[in-house]
Amino acid sequence: MYSSARSLLSSFTTASLLVFALLFAAPAAAELRIEIVDGVEGAMPIAVAPFEWNSDMPEPEDGVADIVSADLHRSGLFDPMDESEMVDRPSEPTEVRFGTWRLLKVDHLVIGSVRETNDGMGYEIEYHLLDVHTGRILLSQALTVGLGDLRFGAHRVADAVYEALLGVPGAFATRIAYVAVRGTGADNETFELVVADADGHNPQTVVRNSQPILSPTWSPDARKLAYVSFATGRSQVIVQDLYTGQNRVVSADKGINGAPAFSPDGDKLAVSLSRTGSPEIWVIDLETGRSEQLTHHWSINTEPAWSPDGETIYFTSDRAGRPQIYAMDAGGGDPERVTWEGRYNAHASFGLEERYLAVIYSEGDEDYRIAIHDRETDRLRVLSDGRLDESPSFAPNGSMVLYATRRDGKSELAAVSADGRVRQRLVLSEGDDVREPAWSPMIR
Amino acid sequence: MKTALRFIALVMLAAILAACARETVEEPEAPEPPPTQEPVDEPETDRLNPRDYTDPRNLDNSDSLLSQRVIYFEFDRSNVRSQFRPIIEAHAEYLRSNPSARVMLEGHADERGSREYNLGLGERRGNSVQDLLSANNVPSRQVEVVSYGEERPVCRESNEDCWQRNRRVEIVYTAR
């Protein structure tokens, strides 16, 4: 059973992760550091023992176990043991003395090893998740990654541990896109579209421009980004392939070209275009280039968001006076109003389920916060506490919402768990403004 | 005595500071509407008349309404307030009498709320100004609207003073 899991995993991860190493040539941007602001009372005690290193290559300073520990800690749901408190460093299940770990009051133990593959082209990470109380092996797997993708491999280990213990897939082996702004004033501002690992590491600048960049959004295969650029002085929607570096102007009509959103099958792009006089929701077929207008109302209609099954398009409209979220059939038709609580609801984002929409919410005109609207109960739950929070983006596993907030007059990123209990700050080491976050889909 | 003097000085200083402070927080000054009765024209030929809205030189003349090119808006609104109409009418007259002149109406919003919605709001403000120009018989080929939403603020603090300066349409001459 153990070996079949191993071969299955290795075959698909190698393929996808090797490509990742070739991704970008652009110089690295400044790195985001993630701080836990609030964790969960009674987070699960777990220990990730240092993985045995079997390679002639130098062991990286951040070992696989360090990365797995940091991921689990960042989720706020686990309380990983500090390495200095460990009395044992087993790497095989047979070496584990469960009594010792029970005395150290951990519930679960992750052990493993890293070895260079026979062809010298990558590493194989083998790992085991053990229940300290029963002595049972909950998970035994191996995966192969390219030489430059050890961090990504470690995130996959964290994903598997998270799923085995919580029943929900982890979202550590994912990426985030955001816009970093350097300098102030129209004449010396630089806008950078950056893609980084979900833990803030490995930032790569995809596009740099002196004109505004906004609304980055991922294709479902996480290979492309669509975004809005003002590079020509007017808005355009651009699709950028992260692997080939090619980009394509998808819409550059008169008026606004904004708010791109890929359909879940990746074939279409929903956008907001004002070529008819006011912003309306359109869907562009990326294959044929044909576009179809879905809304017909003189109000502002923008920020389309596809339901996870692709059947419904949610969007922001102020047809009733103030911005609220509406839903309509993805083929068009009469929109139905979704949000009723508060004077302002905008910028819908989905995670795993159509039931929960993350939105920007305001009761009056004072504070703009991130909230989750529950479609089933029609209840709205406010998650953030800033004054000017915006751009919510659900993690693909629905666990957290990433958003932009303001602190000390600057824009930075923050994340909050869907239940509001876990809070993170994503701080850039340099003084740039960071905004417009977009969490990638699961990377297969 | 000395303390009393110092007190008076402090009070005066406070009053001056308060006056200054008040001046900076005030709404952007509405321009003086042109008087209904034109003053008697003096028989001069080369002196620049600031109310001659056909004269390109007035675009740079701070005494002329033509030098004013920013229209400010209320929160979440896009209707042009009456105090700004004379500015737009002056530019309308200029554009009518200078058919090769072109303007770009750059619509902007304050930072509150969603960026994409604010793009819509900026455009709506630009359209309001364009509608007024059209109502004053300016051909549409002379006017273009572009919205920058909240992406190009002139003021970067998160308070109403800044926000009201950012909720604007800038009339930018791309050809005079």
pLDDT, tens only, B64-102: 999 999 999 999 999 999 999 999 999 999 999 999 999
- Residue A42: count other Cβ atoms within 10 Å of its Cβ: 8
User: DSSP assignment of A64-99, as one string?
Assistant: HHHHHHHHHHHTTSEEEPPGGG-S----SGGG--HH
Enumerate the β-bridge partners of residue A180. Answer: A192, A434
Classify residue A408: in a domain, yes or no.
yes
pLDDT of residue A36: 79
Report the candidate in A213, A257, A251, A216 with the shortest Cα–Cα distance to residue A235. A257
Q: State the Cα–Cα distance between residues A283 and A285, nearest whole angstrom.
A: 7
| Residue A287 sits in the same domain as residue A315 | yes
Enumerate the β-bridge partners of residue A224. Answer: A241
pLDDT of residue A186: 65
Element (H, E) at A314: strand A312-317
Q: Which domain-ending residue is among A147, A166, A185?
A: A166
pLDDT band with cut points at 50, 70 and 90 for residue B7: very low
- Residue A311: count other Cβ atoms within 10 Å of its Cβ: 12
pLDDT of residue A26: 54
- Residue A355: count other Cβ atoms within 10 Å of its Cβ: 16
Classify residue A430: in a domain, yes or no.
yes
Domains belonging to chain B, first-starting first, are: 52-175 (3.30.1330.60)
Classify residue A444: in a domain, yes or no.
no
Percent of chain B having pLDDT more than 90?
Answer: 72
Q: Which domain-ending residue is among A166, A188, A206?
A: A166
Nearest residue of A to residue B147 by CA position?
Answer: A256
Q: State the Cα–Cα distance between residues B46 and A47, nearest whole angstrom.
A: 88
| Domain count across chain A | 2
Domain that holds residue A214: 175-439
| Residue A198 sits in the same domain as residue A152 | no
Quote the tokens at residue A380: 């709205």
Residues 6+ apart with CB under 8 A from A235: A228, A229, A256, A257, A258, B119, B146, B147
| Residue A225 sits in the same domain as residue A264 | yes
pLDDT of residue B6: 53
Of the given ranges (A35-49, A87-101, A114-128, A150-164), which has the lowest mean pLDDT?
A: A35-49
State the complex-level ipTM: 0.90
pLDDT of residue A27: 54
Q: Would strands A344-350 and A356-362 be described as parallel, antiparallel, or unpaired? A: antiparallel
Question: What CATH number does residue A334 fall under?
Answer: 2.120.10.30
**Which residues in chain A are closer than 8 Å to B114, comparing Cβ atoms?**
303, 316, 323, 346-347, 360, 390-391
| Residue A103 sits in the same domain as residue A183 | no
B114/A303 CB distance under 8 A? yes
Nearest residue of B to residue A273 by CA position?
Answer: B120
pTM of the model: 0.87
Please work out, in degrees rounded to the nearest 5, the angle formed at the alpha carbon of residue A304 by the alpha carbons of A302 and A309: 165
* pLDDT above 70 (res A12): no
Of the given ranges (A244-248, A312-316, B94-98, B102-106), which has the lowest mean pLDDT?
A: A244-248
A214/B120 CB distance under 8 A? no
- Residue A292: count other Cβ atoms within 10 Å of its Cβ: 12
Q: Which domain-ending residue is among A166, A188, A203?
A: A166
pLDDT band with cut points at 50, 70 and 90 for residue A407: confident
| Residue A181 sits in the same domain as residue A157 | no
pLDDT of residue A16: 41
pLDDT band with cut points at 50, 70 and 90 for residue A64: very high
**Which residues in chain A are closer than 8 Å to B168, comparing Cβ atoms?**
none
Question: What CATH number does residue A104 fall under?
Answer: 3.40.50.10070
| Residue A152 sits in the same domain as residue A183 | no
* pLDDT above 60 (res A126): yes
| Residue A60 sits in the same domain as residue A184 | no
**Which residues in chain B are closer than 8 Å to A323, comparing Cβ atoms?**
113-114, 117
B152/A212 CB distance under 8 A? yes
Q: pLDDT, tens digit, for every residue of B9-61?
A: 444 444 444 443 433 334 444 445 444 445 555 555 578 999 999 999 999 99
| Residue A70 sits in the same domain as residue A134 | yes
pLDDT of residue B112: 94
Classify residue A298: in a domain, yes or no.
yes
| Residue A157 sits in the same domain as residue A244 | no
